[in-house]
Amino acid sequence: MATDLQMSPQLEQIHGEIRDNFRALSNGFQKLDKIKDSNRQTKQLEELTGRMRECKRLIKEMDREIKDEEARNPPEVNKQLNDEKQSMIKELNSYVALRKTYMNSLGNKKVELFDMGAGVSEPTADENVQVASSMSNQELIDAGKKTMDETDQAIKRSQMVVEQTIEVGTQTATTLKGQTDQMGRIVNELDTIQFSIKKASQLVKEIGRQVSCYLCKHQNISE
């Protein structure tokens, strides 16, 4: 089906990268069956998890491209592209479920929620359902609690940032007001000094004039 799809060069590139990652995942899980050492198995699972995250990112990007091109494509082309996207999501979910099985067999009970649907594009409820269907009730409850805790922590961090911003703004306003008042006092003092200098200059001139008059009169009397 994929070879018959009509795709833009951008979509074709994304589609090819997803398929490359799927081949790497398939080969990686086949290799995992041959690994006996648990540490090597864990390392191999980490590498495969990285591949799955990259597939998730690429499928999100593919979904955005499909929606951007939707108005330019015929309805049948859009349907084919969306069907291909859903097929890729299902294939990725199968690898997610396989990863979960291997991690449980390794004794790792803390299987992290690998949410395929979150953020692919709004809405993605059908994709979330596909992921949730592969989880037990207890895992869904634990994942929900974890998400709620993370959300509460994010809200608290945001509140702290807002409070700190308000505090800094208040301190800055207080500092600026103090600096403004200080500048006002300096200007007033300079005006006072300038006035005093002007008066002193006038006084010196008046004294000089009076001295000159006195000397002139005294000189006339002496003559």
Give the residue-averaged pLDDT of 150-158.
Answer: 73
What's the pLDDT tens digit per position in 106-143? 764 444 434 444 334 443 444 444 455 455 666 667 76
pLDDT at residue 93, as a whole number: 95
Q: Are 65 and 10 in contact (CB under 8 A)?
A: yes
Does residue 1 register a pLDDT over 70?
no
Cα–Cα distances (Å) from 25 to 14, 70, 95, 195, in that order, read: 17, 30, 8, 88
Per DSSP, 71 falls in state G
For the chain, the domains span 2-135
Q: Are 83 and 63 in contact (CB under 8 A)?
A: no
Say which range, 3-7, 68-72, 175-179, 204-208, has the weakest mean pLDDT. 3-7
What's the pLDDT tens digit per position in 156-165? 776 777 777 7
Report how far residue 175's alpha carbon sits from residue 165's, in angstroms, rounded to the nearest whole number: 15
pLDDT at residue 220, as a whole number: 62
Helix (H) or strand (E) holding 24: helix 9-34
Half-sphere exposure of 36 (CA within 13 A, CB side): 0
Higher pLDDT, 45 or 145: 45
Does residue 68 register a pLDDT over 80?
yes
Instruction: Write the burial class of residue 218 (CB in 10 Å: 0-12 exposed, 13-18 middle, 19+ buried).
Output: exposed
Provide the whole-model pTM: 0.47
In single-letter form, the type of residue at position 126 comes to D
Residues ≥6 apart with Cβ < 8 Å to 146: 113
Percent of the chain at pLDDT exceeding 70? 74
Half-sphere exposure of 182 (CA within 13 A, CB side): 6
Higher pLDDT, 29 or 141: 29
pLDDT at residue 178, as a whole number: 78
Q: Are 21 and 51 in contact (CB under 8 A)?
A: yes
What's the pLDDT tens digit per position in 33-53? 888 888 888 899 999 999 999
Cis peptide bond upstream of 9, omega within 30? no
Report how far residue 11's alpha carbon sits from residue 66's, in angstroms, rounded to the nearest whole number: 8
Could you identify the residue written with the tokens 């833009």?
8
Residues ≥6 apart with Cβ < 8 Å to 86: 126
